[in-house]
Amino acid sequence: MMTSNHHDHDSSDSGRTEGGPAGSGGAAASDVVYSTANEERAVAGSAGSISGPAGIRSAETERESANAAWLDDFTIELRLLEVSGSLIGDAVASAGEFLEDSGTTAEESFGSAQRYAAELDLPAVAKAKTNEVLLMSGIGVIGLVVLGQTAFPLAGGDDGLVVRVWLLVSLVAMALILSLIPRAIPVLLRARSRPLVLGMIFAGIVFGGAGPVLLSVWQGQTVLFTVPALPVAIAAGILLVVPAIWNQVRHNLSDDPILEPGAEPDQRPSLGSRLFIVVTNWILVFYGAVSIVLVFVLYPDNQ
């Protein structure tokens, strides 16, 4: 036995009038504390209207909905930190358990969701996995757009791909968006409850995007330069196919569901969800192939 135990009894006898469970009290003991904490809070919270149980109940509902919103924020913050679904489920359930037991608000007990998520310091499963998927899909889209552009000159027996202003603007915009999205997602998710910030971001996009759009409208058809169509088509085809193969091999598109503690993950995802993943992964390639075939078949000279 340690001296701290002795001190334990001293202080709880003299300092506290309402008993709390010391040490590993069971569920029954904690329930006593829970109701005591509730009463204390109701007394402290609404000095004027402490008498009716309705007041306590509405304060309780308010606390529960605030805590639920906090737990949602906490989940998102852990997702942004690339924590695995099962660890997120565990951490969220732990926080929920503590809030239930203590009868406190999440802000009070845990502070800001963003800081608490960082302080827990849970391991990230695959750092930047989401970014990798985004980058790969974006490259695939760029490949598809360029391939589509080469289809017409190739089908018409023309060797040169004419690059016009609108095509260049679109490609640059796509590359920009692609590089900004990983940074923008956390900002947007955190701003979802702040309309002012969202409004400013929206205004920024509108004003920032107006220039290139107007340029495309007025000068879109201006020819900038001509490049050989076949090599560009081959390169674009590679850009289109490689991300799909990459995602297929690395199983990047497999989802990582948030699991409640004790819940077993499905060892083998259902046929439907596996099919969905495969189709999602290859849909761009399929679309690109169909477009090329249609352009070649339907091109006026080839009919």
Task: Please give the residue ranges that form the binding site for other proteins (CB under 8 A).
Answer: 2, 4, 7-8, 10-12, 14-16, 20-25, 27, 29-30, 33, 90-91, 93-102, 104, 108-111, 116, 119-122, 260-262
Nearest to 175 by CA among 127, 229, 212, 126: 212
Residue 83 CB, nearest distance to other proteins (Å)?
Answer: 11
Residue 250 CB, nearest distance to other proteins (Å)?
Answer: 27
Residue 142 CB, nearest distance to other proteins (Å)?
Answer: 41
Residue 111 CB, nearest distance to other proteins (Å)?
Answer: 5
Judged by beta carbon, residue 99 or residue 154, the one nearer other proteins is 99
Judged by beta carbon, residue 97 or residue 266, the one nearer other proteins is 97
Judged by beta carbon, residue 114 or residue 131, the one nearer other proteins is 114
Q: Cβ neighbours of residue 302 under 8 Å, at least 6 residues apart?
A: 155, 296
143 vs 85: CA distance, rounded Å: 32
Residue 84 CB, nearest distance to other proteins (Å)?
Answer: 14
Residue 298 CB, nearest distance to other proteins (Å)?
Answer: 59
Alpha-helical regions (H) of the chain? 3-15, 27-45, 53-80, 85-102, 106-110, 113-120, 129-155, 165-191, 195-219, 229-250, 271-298
Q: Cβ neighbours of residue 70 under 8 Å, at least 6 residues apart?
A: 105, 106, 107, 110, 113
69 vs 97: CA distance, rounded Å: 15
Distance of CA 299 to the CA centre of its chain: 43
* Helix H or strand E segment including 223: strand 223-228
Judged by beta carbon, residue 15 or residue 157, the one nearer other proteins is 15
Judged by beta carbon, residue 77 or residue 236, the one nearer other proteins is 77
Judged by beta carbon, residue 26 or residue 53, the one nearer other proteins is 26
Judged by beta carbon, residue 7 or residue 192, the one nearer other proteins is 7
Residue 242 CB, nearest distance to other proteins (Å)?
Answer: 38
Query: 281 and 253 in contact (C-beta within 8 Å)?
Result: yes
**Buried/exposed code over 115-147 (b: 16+ C-beta within 10 A; e: otherwise):** ebbeebebeeeeeeebebbbbbbbbbbbbbbbb
Query: 236 and 143 in contact (C-beta within 8 Å)?
Result: yes
